[in-house]
Structure 1
């Protein structure tokens, strides 16, 4: 049990450090003049993630950064391959890419590989470091100005100083306290009314619930189906009328009916005129049995 506990401790300690004792991987080394990597940076080949960085060490004697990394033991590549430092993206940092060489000298565990840096990356790193230093300098200057202002505020004994600000804050808190008291008093005075309002709201909600249940029982689908059938019939009737079919269609579309009505109206107008001008011709009432033999004379003005 003691041996098992020691082995479990060693495995757990290495697992927390990111090492899996059961995963067999080959370790390799390379060096760079600048450090642009982290232990979270990926190791890729042709865009595929095939390993990870184990350790990054600065060598004081040479002034270079040594990178130790592992790859999958199934991956075979030449020891003449180069390790390229390249940017992943604007916010993703950098990565380490294996640029394989075209030969049969397979790299083995512990080999040291030559390195290269993607063109323009060193310039970007130096610009970033210089920009960082300038930004840090501006930040320190701003912090110094802020501290000076705070000191002046604390040491100011005038009405515009910190004492005046604390006094105004006390007045504001007092106003909030008075407002809270007024609000509580208003609630206490109108408690019965508020209770009635809440009761009415509960009653309305119950009525709405009953109404919704009634609406569920209504066969809306059948009603809509009947309405749809009625609308189809009305559309058919209007289509027949448009094509001049049926009595209403003939009344709307037949010009002969309009012409006959116009002629009949004209004849009726003339008949009424004749009755008005010669009533004896239609109502013959004579005491002596006389008879009007004169013919119809059309007046000059037809409205007479």
Structure 2
């Protein structure tokens, strides 16, 4: 009798544990909360499974109710959203990582607030999925490979082929060159100082009295030149006045310059005088008569 009671207690306990576990899963999936179903489509390999959370703008609003695998390479995911939450139009569904252990969840990202919402049974368009932990680790592994190759090349160039030694030698030679340049600069400074001193001695050796006398003579010459220029201007003015009187006046000189008839008369008189002289030379007896007793 005692043995039988123990068996019954064990069976009841096992059933209670199983029911409690099933009830916990049911509650976790919103068993006591009514909701409506929305759908979305993703490509194969998304990593979705039943019970994963559904977030709307970062707020948990439901869970993945079912995942149906289609032969065309798509996953039809049904999501149960609690009744108090409405998904606005323009929202896209993406799969995002959930933690560091490869788990994922569905993130509903609204484009902007709008009074229009998805109704039960509508399909939410899928957006661009964010990189998963595996993708990130793959990229990190690729980057680590590149860094390893780079470090190996640096080691070969600067360690195996004595590149660091050459760099040190170059630095030493550069320091030596800088020291030589500093010496040259110091020597040039000394030479410049000597040159400046010599220039000062030459400047001091010049007789200031002689310089003043020369400047006075130059000033006197400039004054004479100024006086000569004034005289030339006065003479030019008088010549201009005389020329104007000859050109525009009524005197004999003006008539000689401006009267064409007088010019013709004088030219005719000169021609007749020339003819007379020619005739005189040819026939002097015509004009001179000599009688001798």
| TM-score class, shorter | 0.3 to 0.5
The structure with the largest helix share of the pair is 2
Whose Rg is larger? Answer: 2
TM-score (norm: length of structure 1)? 0.33
